[in-house]
A = this chain, B = another copy of it.
Amino acid sequence: MPDPATLTQTMAEMLTQSRQAAYTMATLTTAQKNEALLAFAALLETHRSDLRSANDQDLKAQEGQLSPALFQRLKLSDAKINTLIQGLKDVAGLPDPVGRVTLQTKLDEGLVLSKVAVPIGVIGIVFESRPDVVPQILSLILKSGNAVVFKGGREAHHSNAAFMRVVDALNARCPFLPKAWGQLIDSRQAFQALLDFHDKVDLVIPRGSNQLVQQVMAATKIPVLGHADGICHLYVHASADAASPETMALIMDSKCQYPAACNALETLLVDAAVAQTLLPLLKAAADESGVTLKGCSKTQAVIDGIEPAQEADWHTEYGDLTMSVKVVDDLAAAIAHINTYGSHHTDCIVARDEQAMEQFMAQVDSASVFANASTRFADGFRYGFGAEIGISTAKTHARGPVGMDGLVIYKYQLHGHGHLVADYSGDTPKPFLHQPL
């Protein structure tokens, strides 16, 4: 283990290289970036056996150590490699997020202002044991013209190293790529050192457990794109058809379609007006799907023998087939509960009353607010972004499912012909035209 001063020094040098690489990446053409993405795809095929055997080393080292779910995530099967190859081709097919002119104004004759999308610069990314995240992240970084320093899971050490051999081959094949555009670091301490460089890193993206994200958010002044909790709600309004199978299907899809996902339902809010109808049906559906219910006192009064929900339950992302249930007096109470206990991620109302839907969607302060659709739709691919960097619950920069747009910012370009501000100031100022182009 290097001492902290050495670690800081090494990281400073990496980040200086990363900045220089970012300047070059920002000037690549769309054609160059797509050429590199397709070469990357071809090289994954060439390196398939190297990747598989490196991954086998990781799998052997973890045998019996990881849960079956994590072990599966660590595994780099041929099918997963095929998916990665297709993914790289897909990213090549996406529109280039860089260079778009989003505003153009003629300030005066011969004085034109343009707002142009540009890469953010140097991104720090940390994620956990899935090695297939490496090429996914690199493809989005490449297409958006950024540079990245990233840390993968320790368990995927050999797999990640094999992916970096692919990157070396890619850099050799595409000499327009600056060598330091994608740098891998291996230790938690090194990433900790990165988090201190808020003058050298423009954005940090943690992808992984709630705990990882919270640790990163607490440890840095660099802007963070991500979300810690995913405490999502579904509220069955008084106007909903509480007896219909569609209502129950929305609840069960939100909860059960993939319970570990951040956009899965945790707390069901039931309007008092429909509680007597809905709750017995809920109990039956929950039993059928293996969902464990925890209820408030009013819920318990209708469903016999279920576990009581404590105050802590309203704050809890179960991530499994557990659901907390609360009976609320009305729409306002539902909104207040969600804004108080939720994580501002994804929340849904089931209703037939249009006005209630609109009030819910206006007043619930969450990145995604739904009416009559499963919370599980909150996802960059389902939203049609073609890629997902992550899901953010921040209130600045990027919110909700974030596509490649989250990896760009803009600069203003002003083309003049010797224009002076003095002419537009003083006692007889020239007026501006401010004419949209």
A binding-site residues for B, Cβ under 8 Å: 23, 26-27, 105, 107, 111, 113, 120-121, 202-203, 217-218, 220-221, 223, 246-247, 249-250, 253, 257-258, 339, 357, 361-363, 365-374, 376-378, 382-384, 394-401, 409-422, 424-425, 432, 434
Contacts and interface: CB of A to CB of B under 8 A. Distances in A.
17 contacts: A105-B384, A113-B384, A223-B394, A247-B418, A253-B422, A257-B425, A366-B411, A368-B413, A369-B413, A371-B415, A372-B416, A373-B418, A377-B419, A382-B421, A382-B424, A382-B432, A384-B432
Given A113-B384, A395-B202, A368 B414 contact: yes
B120 A396 contact: yes
B250 A420 contact: yes
Given A202-B395, A203-B396, A419 B367 contact: no
A394 B419 CA distance: 27
Nearest to A115: B400
A350 to B, nearest CB: 8
Contacts of A401: 412
Q: Is the interface of A mostly helix, strand, loop or mixed?
A: mixed
B395 A120 contact: yes
B421 A376 contact: yes
A383 B420 contact: no
A437 to B, nearest CB: 11
Nearest to A241: B418
Given A257-B425, A369-B413, A372-B416, 7 more contacts: A23-B365, A120-B395, A223-B223, A249-B420, A370-B413, A377-B421, A397-B397
A421 B253 contact: yes
Nearest to A218: B221
Nearest to A410: B399
B253 A371 contact: no
A217 B221 CA distance: 8
A421 B257 contact: yes
A398 B86 CA distance: 34
Given A113-B384, A420-B257, A367 B411 contact: yes
Contacts of A377: 107, 111, 414, 416, 419, 421
Given A250-B420, A253-B420, A23 B411 contact: no
A421 B257 CA distance: 7
Nearest to A360: B413
